[in-house]
């Protein structure tokens, strides 16, 4: 690398909030299925503990060694609704408790995969899992859940839509914070490292490492440096910046996978904001020329940003996956929070925005 590139990367980390948002280990639990859900839960705990024993120490060591912040260490597992086996008593709570206990014992931030994939229809096990969500999310601390209720190919499972409408309300009624641990998807992806929607798809291997990178502040600073830029120049600037950010995600992921002796899978090139100053996706859109996020032109600006991020990142990483786009969560983005407080952004505008990026309404 050239000296200038090294200096730029150091500046991105120290001044522009560039970080590895997550290192997520995906673990298949298909070999844990038995005829009894309690026995399955015991095997789930044992496998997670065995495979992820060194995840947190390795991530911390890489962060210290290279000076790159790694914000979260996480685990995603096979959709739990697939683990019912031949047990007629469809009570998934023991598995949820086993996942939660493993996450705490390992020191990981969150564990995802309490999941049902019902875009075409629901099995009795999947229906039971969806109905268990309010209690499970209220009695566990680190378990994250997701339900895929539709896809472009299959359309929407309206029975699941109706059921999840009542489930979401009950989850939030018990404790508003519980809603943060539940995602309702269309077109869910199998290799997503970000929570709360991460699960380890059935077409994936036994275990692998995924990384998620984030640098809204880096992109915003790069665009701000070119106030008179054309659309073409803005796109090129975003692509070049996304390339640098993604290279760092690829590097950290491969080092982690090598030290853990597991395959490296994908880099997720999402721009994931935090409430911190200078770490906002909405601020990028405003720097691109919007008076405020939510004004006419917001959806077009977001689509342009999303497209450029993906094109820049694909060049940088061997394998791109996950959601890979811009996140627009109202509760986690300082400028989105401001726009909502001022009444400048509506639910309808958020619907339009979520149609051109990865997530979404919260």
Q: Residue 29: which CATH number? A: 3.20.70.20
Point out which residues pair with 57 in neighbouring strands.
none
How far apart CA 10 and CA 313 sit, in angstroms, is 19
**Host H or E run for residue 247:** helix 231-260
Residue 11 belongs to a domain: no
Q: What sign has the CA pseudo-torsion 116, 50, 97, 257? A: negative
Predicted structure pTM score: 0.85
Please state the rounded mean pLDDT for residues 312-339.
76
In this structure, are 179 and 271 located in the same domain?
A: no
Q: Residue 341 — very low, low, confident or very high, per pLDDT cuts 50/70/90?
A: confident
In this structure, are 92 and 239 located in the same domain?
A: no
Q: Residue 362 — very low, low, confident or very high, per pLDDT cuts 50/70/90?
A: low
Residue 200 belongs to a domain: no
In this structure, are 261 and 164 located in the same domain?
A: no
In this structure, are 75 and 153 located in the same domain?
A: yes
Residue 220 belongs to a domain: yes
Q: Residue 328 — very low, low, confident or very high, per pLDDT cuts 50/70/90?
A: confident
Residue 37 belongs to a domain: yes
In this structure, are 168 and 78 located in the same domain?
A: yes
In this structure, are 112 and 173 located in the same domain?
A: yes
Residue 196 belongs to a domain: no
**Host H or E run for residue 71:** strand 70-77
pLDDT tens digits for 229-267? Answer: 888 888 888 888 888 778 888 888 889 999 999 999 888
Residue that terminates a domain, selected from 138, 166, 186: 186
Residue 247's pLDDT is: 80
Helix (H, G, I), strand (E, B) or coil at 134: helix
How many other CB atoms are there within 10 angstroms of residue 48's CB atom?
Answer: 25
Rounded mean pLDDT of the chain? 85
Distance of CA 102 to the CA centre of its chain: 20
In this structure, are 39 and 154 located in the same domain?
A: yes
In this structure, are 161 and 71 located in the same domain?
A: yes
Of 31, 43, 143, the residue nearest 96 (C-alpha)? 143
In this structure, are 103 and 171 located in the same domain?
A: yes
pLDDT tens digits for 71-105? Answer: 889 999 999 998 887 778 888 899 999 999 999 99
Q: Which of 13-22, 139-148, 341-350 has the highest mean pLDDT?
A: 139-148
CA atoms within 13 A on the CB side of 202: 10
Residue 231 belongs to a domain: yes
Residue 10 belongs to a domain: no
In this structure, are 308 and 237 located in the same domain?
A: yes
pLDDT tens digits for 207-232? Answer: 999 988 877 877 888 888 888 888 88
**Host H or E run for residue 266:** strand 264-268
Helices (DSSP H) in 79-206: which residue ranges? Answer: 93-106, 124-139, 158-174
Question: Residue 333 belongs to what domain range?
Answer: 215-354
Residue 17 pLDDT more than 70? Answer: no
In this structure, are 91 and 141 located in the same domain?
A: yes
Residue 163's pLDDT is: 94
Number of structural domains, the chain?
2
In this structure, are 96 and 55 located in the same domain?
A: yes
Residue 144 belongs to a domain: yes
């Amino acid at each position: 690398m050239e000296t200038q590139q090294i200096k730029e990367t150091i500046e991105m980390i120290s001044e522009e909030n560039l970080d590895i948002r997550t290192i997520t280990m995906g673990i298949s639990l298909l070999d844990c299925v038995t005829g009894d859900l309690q026995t399955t839960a015991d095997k789930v705990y044992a496998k997670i503990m065995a495979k992820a024993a060194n995840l947190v120490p390795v991530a911390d060591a890489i962060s210290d060694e290279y000076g790159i912040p790694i914000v979260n260490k996480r685990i995603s597992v096979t959709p739990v609704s697939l683990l019912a086996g031949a047990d007629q008593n469809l009570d998934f709570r023991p598995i949820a408790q086993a996942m939660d206990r493993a996450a705490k014992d390992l020191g990981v931030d969150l564990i995802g995969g309490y999941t049902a994939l019902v875009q075409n229809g629901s099995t009795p096990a999947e229906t039971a899992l969806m109905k268990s969500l309010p209690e499970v999310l209220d009695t566990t601390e680190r378990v994250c859940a997701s339900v895929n209720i539709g896809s472009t190919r299959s359309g929407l499972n309206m029975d699941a839509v109706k059921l999840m409408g009542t489930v979401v309300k009950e989850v939030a009624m018990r404790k508003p914070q519980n809603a943060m641990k539940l995602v309702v998807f269309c077109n869910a992806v199998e290799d997503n490292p970000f929570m709360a929607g991460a699960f380890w798809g059935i077409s994936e291997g036994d275990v692998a490492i995924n990384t998620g990178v984030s640098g809204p502040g880096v992109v915003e600073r790069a665009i701000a440096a070119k106030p008179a830029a054309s659309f073409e120049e803005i796109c090129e600037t975003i692509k070049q910046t996304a390339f640098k950010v993604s290279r760092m995600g690829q590097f950290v992921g491969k080092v982690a996978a090598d030290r853990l002796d597991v395959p490296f899978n994908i880099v997720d090139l999402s721009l994931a904001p935090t409430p911190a100053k200078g770490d906002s996706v909405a601020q990028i859109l405003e720097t691109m020329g919007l008076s405020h996020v939510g004004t006419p032109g917001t959806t077009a600006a977001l689509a342009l940003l999303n497209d450029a991020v993906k094109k820049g990142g694909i060049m940088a990483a061997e394998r791109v996956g996950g959601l890979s786009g811009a996140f627009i969560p109202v509760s986690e983005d300082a400028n989105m929070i401001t726009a909502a407080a001022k009444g400048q952004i509506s639910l309808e505008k958020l619907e339009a925005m979520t149609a051109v990026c990865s997530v979404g309404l919260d």
